[in-house]
Structure 1
Amino acid sequence: MFTTRPTLRGTFGMVSSTHWLASQSAMAVLEGGGNAFDAAVAGAFVLHVVEPHLNGPAGEVPIILAPAGGPVRVLCGQGPAPGGASIAHYTGLGLDLVPGTGPLAAAVPGAFDAWMLLLRDHGTRSLAQVLEYAIGYAEHGHPAVEGFAAAVGTVRELFATEWTTSGEVYLPVPKPGRPFRNPALAATWRRLIAEAAVGADREARIDAARRVWREGFVADALLRAAARPTLDMTGERHTGTLSGDDLAAWRAGYEDPVTHDRDGWTLCKPGPWSQGPVLAQQLALLPDLPPRGTPEYLHTLVEAGKLAMADREAWYGDAADVPLSDLLSEEYNAARRRLIGATASYDLRPGGPGGRVPRLPRYATAPDRPQVLPGVAVPVLGDTCHIDVVDRRGNMVSATPSGGWLQSNPVVPELGFPLGTRLQMAWLEPGLPNSLTPGRRPRTTLSPSLALRGGEPVMAFGTPGGDQQDQWQLPFFLAVAAGEDLQAAVDAPTWHQESFPGSFHPRVMSPGAVTVEWRVGEDVVRELRRRGHRVTVDGAWSLGRLCAVARDPETGVLSAAANPRGMQGYAVGR
């Protein structure tokens, strides 16, 4: 089968990420004797530099790791709501949603500490060794990609008139292909390394860097930024709720993954503080499928996705116990799959796992809730990155860094990067699993994946895309499970539906809306419309940014594939 590029194969190491410089930097770490975890950390910090419109050090990251011979673990790099981030505080400001920009939307930054914990516990390289690539690109420049330049262009006026610290870094708008530098960011990492050099050994120096982040000069600068009145998308100036106690108290931590078994595969996902179980729920709803590529196949996956996303809205979140075993049970899903009819559903239909009564946010179900139909634009904020690594020892890791975008908050001038805005994903209504709650994580869309066969890790994969991440991962995983070549599964035309409240401000939904790449074919589009779907036909190569690496436990052969869409993602390896 024709593919846009070959599936890479080798025995030494493989990396796939959403930017070629991150992939090659991670590969350089492998070539220098580091392992998959060292490489992932190095690649992630390069992503902060080369895709600042998609992620940053003060954002978030869920990581799934499989150390060779060890158990699969989830490393949570999603920080919680600050202690002062109560619903009463926001509604007292006259808000019914957390803004999508500005310090009022900032959770406790989680990405940096998660990467440091991964490096300390599972890596072998020093902090200076893994940061040298990011420092080099920030200090000496990297060729700006088109998406980065376009993102800055969308906020040019804001940066020139209000967020002037961002303007000092990003204006004039970078020109695609021309070197772009962020010397303040390079200086931050150099100072961090120097101040953390007091540790007696590698692990102690990494822990020292974590203390500098949460209690030293980095914390001081972040707190000044949070306390500065800042114009956000409400049209008003607000200060944030982040405090020194919030920064000092929080640590990244490990958890068991959510798992689902299917045809000899075991899928591993982050817990329901993310949307990760949505992929598992879709698989549980679909034990049998029509032939791939047919209108019936696409219709069935879209309708199953609607049911899983409705359950996400009713049941997922960190502010309540989530009935996950019931949501993934065969009994529950047997009843749910009977709701998949021959025509498109326009309703948000959560189930009642274990006899519980579902409750949806009033905002999501109000008659005057924001809605958009296919083709109607909504404000563009940030997106996400992804990186997967496997090494010759069998170590495997998958991570989806996001948040802390250049569009989220003004650049902290002393640091070279902004705060994030993940609190926008929590609801300002009490009693919901995803209600804004001090000390609890806002539910994130970030959703890396790792798969086992026979108990052995065989594939790490994921994609940017917000609410679409687990929709785009579904046909990819089903294709690989059916024996498809890794790159062919990435290249295959894809789609997503939008019949649920979006996770990002202004939380719009589009009942019945389905967006497809035109490569799905005219016959498929015609049949979907006949079944009642509101179909938008997008570009041939427009949806998804999948990355994947794999390992055959029997032969030790490694493989990797990367998405050609967007002209940025690359896999490297040998």
Structure 2
Amino acid sequence: MPTFTTRPTLTGTHGMVSSTHWLASQAAMRMLELDGNAADGAVAAGLVLQVVEPHLNGPGGDLPLIVASADDPVPRVLCGQGPAPAGATPDHFAAAGLDRVPGAGPLATAVPGATEAWLVLLRDRGTMTLAQVAAPALHYARSGHPVLERVATTIASVQELFEQEWTTSADTWLVDGAPPVPGSLLANPAWADTLERLVAEERAAGGTREQGIDAVRRAWSQGFVAQAVDEFARRPFRHPGGPVLPGVLTGADMAAFEATWEDAVTADWQGHTIAKTGPWGQGPALLQVLGMLDQLAASGTVDATDLDTVDGLHALVETWKLAMADREAWLGDSAEVPTDDLLSSTYLADRAALVGTTADRTLRPGSPGGRTPRIAAQALAVEGAGATDATGGEPTVPGARSTDPVVRSDGTARGDTCHVDVVDRWGMLVSATPSGGWLQSSPTIPSLGFALGSRLQMTWLEQGLPSSLVPGRRPRTTLTPTLVLRDGIPVLACGSPGGDQQDQWQSVFLLRHLVGGLSLQEAIDAPQLHTTSFPGSFTPRATEPGVVVAESRLGPDLLAGLRSRGHEVVDAGPWSLGRLCAVARDPGTGVLSAAANPRGMQGYAVGR
């Protein structure tokens, strides 16, 4: 396939940033210009993203990230995925007449972890103060930012809910009783006040930089923020489907949570080491897919890494079906996860051998280490969500999931998020995927200026599963940043919004870039595809057997070839899938590079 780029791959030696919003990218770059490092830049970008993309992430949301540096090359995961509150028990939901966690509202709230994780990153790997890195976000929250059309559209979709039920959200997000006009300045004075109070806590603490940041963390988890959350989160509000119920999150839940540093799960692939989060995220599924593709190539069955052929595309789709079936059976935080067995070469060879010449339409979890797989009964019962396709018109395949964020009038959303990657001149790389706490996910806490998240919708009330709802355990998240090392040195950070599709789109990018030799921007711009032939993570948790969603730029021959193999192909139009960010560093020359997704006219890379 001929290479094509919408923009150049940026190169330089001082620092590079790529994120899903140009203002966030520039905020991170400002920290690098002030001699901050990649961690400082990532935090500045993350705080700006909370302000300018409030429909995709917020202070009350979630955050996993991965960081490594030239002088500390072992990739480390920082988990800002909060657990289920102590009161979020299956019995509590049963007593409320619910057979599943709602897709929005206070009952779907996990302990907020994003802000805590940004603060821990700043304390442990950064060099600057909160006052310094929060300055751009505070400016936009106080003075306003040109509001995105998608923010305005999201607010319009839930306007009636806000006006009639979630009135604190109406007070925060409606302007003179109407959704904001795209391009007009939208401020959030309450969040600006909260940020200012947090910065004041840092200044009042005295002592070292680290002690000041810890004072902010205490104000968040044990002080005025936790108190406001405690007073508001258990008020009764309407949930999807009609019930008016209180939440269960308490200040004690917030006080008990700390973002934790963990070892990354890694796999060697094509001369590189790919680092992902633990099995409380979907990241290990990407490692499985890359391993299965290698097994197919080693067997001589097919060149499974060539995405310019029907064989390569078919192999990628079919291995993703197998990996996502394993995700449903084995990944989560509420039961033992046999990670080593799932990633063993013997197991992956057995799984790869299941890839046939035609599209499979079944859910086929494996038996790592001889264990018996188990899928949630409700996951097996739901097919076809009935949403329109990516073009916004009649679905080519009934029920094919939309590729853009879908927000219903009751606040239920097919999840989406944002992303930021930063590399500095000293060789530190950060890949971060903040999400949750969407403005539409839960009523806005008026004294704080943000909403809580709805991540518990990814858990099952059925017990005994890795993804069962268990108090104190993390809901399995779709958030999945990636760090790549070569010869033990970090060289690439990348990631994408997109819910269940995040790792699928990243696999296409990695194949195009690391194997196909395309530049960062060429690999991001290359046509994308993904399958939805597995249970979704978001309400209504639908499965769409055999469905492949693909950009038309793959070309009529490849699309027809996939259909001839039995795939139900949804033509998503030319530029609709994948919203990747990426930064890289050549350890031999010190040259830095960055690229960003052009789809949606929003993501940008900056650097020098």
Asked if Structure 1 and Structure 2 have the same fold, meaning a TM-score greater than 0.5 normalized by the shorter chain, the answer is yes
Q: Which of 77, 93, 97 does residue 74 from structure 1 map onto?
A: 77
Superposed, which structure 2 residues align to 1:44-443 within 5 Å?
Answer: 44-70=46-72, 71-171=74-174, 172-199=178-205, 200-287=207-294, 288=297, 289-290=303-304, 291-366=306-381, 371-372=385-386, 374-376=397-399, 380=407, 381=413, 382-443=415-476
Amino acid at match of 1:496: H
CA distance in 1, matches of 2:348, 2:68: 29
Conserved? CA contact 1:98–1:423, under 8 Å: yes
SS in 1 for 2:4: coil
Conserved? CA contact 2:70–2:489, under 8 Å: no
Alignment-derived partner of residue 36 in structure 1: 38
CA distance in 1, matches of 2:543, 2:228: 37
CA distance in 2, matches of 1:357, 1:313: 13
Conserved? CA contact 1:196–1:212, under 8 Å: no
Amino acid at match of 1:471: Q
Amino acid at match of 1:22: A
SS in 2 for 1:79: coil
Conserved? CA contact 2:67–2:430, under 8 Å: yes
Alignment-derived partner of residue 13 in structure 2: 11
State the 1:67 CA deviation.
2.9
Amino acid at match of 1:328: L
CA distance in 1, matches of 2:168, 2:544: 36
Q: Which of 512, 518, 521 does residue 552 from structure 2 map onto?
A: 518
Aligned CA RMSD, in angstroms, stands at 1.2
CA distance in 2, matches of 1:125, 1:174: 34
Q: Which of 484, 487, 492 does residue 521 from structure 2 map onto?
A: 487
Alignment-derived partner of residue 534 in structure 2: 500
CA distance in 2, matches of 1:177, 1:370: 36
Amino acid at match of 1:340: V
Conserved? CA contact 1:146–1:176, under 8 Å: yes
SS in 1 for 2:255: helix
CA distance in 1, matches of 2:383, 2:30: 49
Q: Deviation per CA, 1:85-121: give whole Å up to 9, x if none.
A: 1111112222121001001000010001111000001
Q: Relative to structure 1, is the Cα distance of residues 196 and 387 closer, same or farther in structure 2, using a 3 angstrom cutoff?
A: same
State the 1:244 CA deviation.
2.1
SS in 2 for 1:101: coil
Amino acid at match of 1:74: V
State the 1:544 CA deviation.
1.2
CA distance in 1, matches of 2:574, 2:419: 22
Amino acid at match of 1:427: W
Conserved? CA contact 1:363–1:369, under 8 Å: no
Q: Which runs of 5+ in 1 are unaligned?
A: none
Q: Deviation per CA, 1:1-60: give whole Å up to 9, x if none.
A: 430000000000000000000000100010011110000000000000000000001100
Amino acid at match of 1:188: T
State the 1:262 CA deviation.
1.1
Identity of aligned residues (%): 59
Amino acid at match of 2:331: Y
SS in 2 for 1:565: coil
CA distance in 2, matches of 1:58, 1:140: 21
Conserved? CA contact 1:370–1:506, under 8 Å: no
CA distance in 1, matches of 2:398, 2:198: 46
Q: Deviation per CA, 1:428-477: give whole Å up to 9, x if none.
A: 10100110001100000000000000000000000000000010000100
Conserved? CA contact 2:277–2:283, under 8 Å: yes
Amino acid at match of 1:517: E
CA distance in 2, matches of 1:422, 1:284: 29
SS in 2 for 1:420: coil
Conserved? CA contact 1:370–1:507, under 8 Å: no
CA distance in 2, matches of 1:68, 1:233: 48
State the 1:68 CA deviation.
3.1
Conserved? CA contact 2:25–2:45, under 8 Å: yes
SS in 1 for 2:203: coil
Q: Deviation per CA, 1:201-226: give whole Å up to 9, x if none.
A: 21111001000111111111112221
The aligned length equals 573
Stretch deviating more after TM superposition (221-230 or 402-411): 221-230
TM-score, with structure 1 as normaliser: 0.98
State the 1:363 CA deviation.
0.6
State the 1:264 CA deviation.
1.2
- Whether 1:464 and 2:514 are equivalent positions in the alignment is no
Amino acid at match of 2:597: N
CA distance in 2, matches of 1:154, 1:69: 48
State the 1:159 CA deviation.
1.3
CA distance in 2, matches of 1:371, 1:204: 49
Alignment-derived partner of residue 541 in structure 1: 575
State the 1:152 CA deviation.
1.1
Stretch deviating more after TM superposition (85-94 or 179-188): 85-94
CA distance in 2, matches of 1:132, 1:375: 47
CA distance in 2, matches of 1:182, 1:337: 50
CA distance in 2, matches of 1:242, 1:108: 7
CA distance in 1, matches of 2:104, 2:335: 26
Stretch deviating more after TM superposition (50-59 or 534-543): 534-543
SS in 1 for 2:335: coil
State the 1:69 CA deviation.
1.1
CA distance in 2, matches of 1:160, 1:411: 13
Stretch deviating more after TM superposition (260-269 or 155-164): 155-164
Conserved? CA contact 2:383–2:544, under 8 Å: no
CA distance in 1, matches of 2:137, 2:359: 47
CA distance in 2, matches of 1:357, 1:371: 29
TM-score, with structure 2 as normaliser: 0.93
Q: Deviation per CA, 1:497-519: give whole Å up to 9, x if none.
A: 11111101111111111110111
Conserved? CA contact 1:326–1:353, under 8 Å: yes
State the 1:369 CA deviation.
5.5
CA distance in 1, matches of 2:131, 2:599: 33
Amino acid at match of 2:327: R
SS in 1 for 2:229: helix
Conserved? CA contact 2:130–2:202, under 8 Å: no
Conserved? CA contact 1:97–1:506, under 8 Å: no
